[in-house]
């Protein structure tokens, strides 16, 4: 899968980053994109990655990589239109921060009869 990071960055929040052959469309969700944690207190990290503000992918994670992971998870689970099933995958290393702690899982949620999908980091102990 060859994705152009520059083109992906121009996509607005909730718009489509990529469409799978199945017709499932990967949406951009800026609330889950990486932020810099270096100058934050643990309390601020907890708040910025809580349920309301959304878990964040680790700094340096590109939109291309987020799309690749989302597609990989959907294809591994043979996702099709007409189903709103969501899926998770646990990676060997941390992929993001959720509720203030580093996590290794990615959760893909779907809407509109499975047409739209987006991914975010999830605590592997919560799945």
Q: Which residues of 86-113 are buried (b: 16+ CB within 10 A; e: fewer)?
A: bbbbeeeeebbbbebeebbbbbbbbeee
Lookup result for tokens 């592997």: 124
Residue 125 has pLDDT above 90, yes or no: yes
Provide the domain limits for residue 87.
5-126
DSSP state of 33: S
pLDDT per position as a tens digit, 39-96: 999 999 999 999 999 999 999 999 999 999 999 999 999 999 999 999 999 999 999 9
Q: How confident is the model at residue 38 (pLDDT cuts 50, 70, 90)?
A: very high
Which tokens is 19 given?
Answer: 């469409």
Cβ pair 122, 107 in contact under 8 A: yes
Residue 1 has pLDDT above 80, yes or no: no
Looking at the structure of the chain, the number of domains it has is: 1
3-state secondary structure of 106: strand
């Amino acid at each position: 899968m060859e994705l152009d990071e520059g083109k992906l960055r121009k996509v607005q929040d909730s718009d489509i980053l990529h469409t799978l052959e199945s017709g499932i469309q990967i949406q951009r969700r800026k609330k889950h994109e990486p932020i810099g944690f270096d100058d934050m207190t643990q309390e601020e990290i907890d708040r910025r990655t809580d349920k309301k503000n959304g878990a964040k992918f680790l700094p340096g994670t590109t939109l291309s990589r987020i799309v690749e992971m989302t597609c990989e998870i959907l294809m591994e689970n043979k996702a099709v239109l007409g189903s709103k099933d969501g899926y998770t995958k646990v990676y060997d290393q941390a992929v993001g921060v959720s509720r203030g702690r580093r996590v290794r899982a990615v959760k893909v949620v779907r809407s509109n009869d499975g047409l739209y999908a987006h991914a975010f980091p999830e605590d592997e102990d919560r799945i």
